[in-house]
Amino acid sequence: MNLHEYARRMPKTELHVHLEGSIRPPTLLRLAQRNGVALPAQDEAGLEEFYRFRDFDHFIAVYITVTRCLRTPDDYRLIAYEFGANCARQNIRHAEATFSVETNIRFTGLSWQAIVEGLNEGRSQAREEYGVDWRWVFDIVRNLPETQDEVVEIALAAREHGVVALGLGGTESDFPPELFVRSHARARAERLPRVPHAGETAGPESVWAALRLLHADRIGHGVRSAEDPALVAFLVETQTPIELCPTSNIRLGVYPGYETHPLRDLWDAGVLVTVNSDDPPMFGTDLNHEYEVLIDHFGFGLDELEEVSLNGVRASLLPEPDKTRLERTFRTEFAELRGELGSTPRARSL
Ligand SMILES: [Zn+2]
């Protein structure tokens, strides 16, 4: 049994992945050309260079340039469709993809309805062609706190179009949770789950504030919770899921390398850890690669890989009966795949 092959073929979920950060490099180049947007890269090698981030602010600047390449409803259809193709390739059965709706409205002049229609056309197309499906998380960009009311209203109105949560992204260190209490209270009053990024570029105090002030149902990243034992204990006790994205953390300099990344400590402490790719082509990764990282750098064996995948089902925002069904399907497929790839494997000796 080859553990890497098992990881590629096992059914998985992805809860922390940004749609604009998932655009395939050839597609981005084509969109830029078609829409007359000047990118500082002319080919895929140039994009790789463009995606070498000095720090988080530089990353945000690049992200904005990428978003500016989108112009028409058909662009949204295309990137959603390709997102689905990518899920199918990696056997991702359920995803919750973040999309910064307000930034896209601002850059294109389109209505949210036109954008969502494009997105969902791509989603239906991927569903028909590949049998994959996913939901949307619409996030507030922290750098624009004045847009929070608009974003939460759109997210609420778009629930019938597949939006399952309110997100909060952007520059965490300068725009703390305290600034976003109003919009999150509104979401909470309407029973729309909240999944803010916290504990990525800011420390545990940011996670505490996301939990206490924003009533977060799940924490985007949350990795720096590891710096506060009381917070780790709280996450374990409440089983509040965290969405770890190890390669993203390395590429943005949150940790110098995998060997100093606290994923293993959080896992061993009993935190409900999920593993995700964040902005796959921008960080030179994808979910399959993140699972390989679990094997190669964090010593995960087969049972643990399965547990990570099932944590994604448990931490998802699917209705309970769907979660139960999906978990059952995953367990059946794990057993089949174990049979196919050869009996009971021993993790690291393989
Ligand atoms: Zn993110």
Could you report the per-residue pLDDT of 58-96, keeping only the tens digit for each?
A: 999 999 999 999 999 999 999 999 999 999 999 999 999
- pLDDT given for residue 344 in this prediction: 57
- pLDDT given for residue 342 in this prediction: 79
Count of domains for the chain: 1
Quote the longest CA-to-CA distance of the chain: 56
**Is there a domain that residue 256 lies in?**
yes
Cα(244) to ligand 1 centroid in Å equals 10
**Is there a domain that residue 348 lies in?**
no
Cα(276) to ligand 1 centroid in Å equals 9
User: In what order do the strands lie in the sheet containing 273-275?
Assistant: 12-18, 92-99, 133-141, 163-169, 194-198, 219-221, 242-244, 273-275
Average pLDDT for 177-191: 98
Instruction: Collapse the DSSP code of 234 into the 3-class scheme (helix H, G, I; strand E, B; otherwise coil) and give the result.
Output: helix
Cα(292) to ligand 1 centroid in Å equals 20
Cα(348) to ligand 1 centroid in Å equals 30
Strands 273-275 and 12-18, how do they pair?
Answer: unpaired
Cα(142) to ligand 1 centroid in Å equals 12
Summarised one tens digit per residue, pLDDT across range 4-53 is 999 999 999 999 999 999 999 999 999 999 999 999 999 999 999 999 99
**Is there a domain that residue 231 lies in?**
yes
**Is there a domain that residue 346 lies in?**
no
**Is there a domain that residue 347 lies in?**
no
Name the residue range of residue 208's domain: 3-341
- pLDDT given for residue 35 in this prediction: 95
- pLDDT given for residue 343 in this prediction: 54
Question: In the annotation, is 48 catalytic?
Answer: no
Q: Are 141 and 147 a contacting pair, CB within 8 Å?
A: yes
Q: Which pLDDT band, with edges at 50, 70 and 90, does 349 fall under? A: very low
**Exactly one of 172, 200, 243, 306 is catalytic; which is it?**
200
Average pLDDT for 267-279: 98
The answer on pLDDT for 320 being more than 70 is yes
pTM to 2 decimals? 0.96
First to last CA, the chain: 7
**Is there a domain that residue 125 lies in?**
yes
Q: Tell me the DSSP string of 95-143.
A: EEEEE-HHHHHHHH---HHHHHHHHHHHHHHHHHHH--EEEEEEEEETT
Percent above pLDDT 70 for the chain: 97
Q: What tokens appear for 114 in the block?
A: 């036109």
Q: How far apart are CA 76 and CA 114, in angstroms?
A: 9
CATH assignment of the domain containing 247 = 3.20.20.140
Cα(18) to ligand 1 centroid in Å equals 6
**Is there a domain that residue 328 lies in?**
yes
Q: How far apart are CA 285 and CA 146, in angstroms?
A: 33
**Is there a domain that residue 303 lies in?**
yes
Average pLDDT for 210-232: 98
Check the CA dihedral 187-191-196-198 and report its sign.
positive
Cα(99) to ligand 1 centroid in Å equals 10
The answer on pLDDT for 348 being more than 60 is no
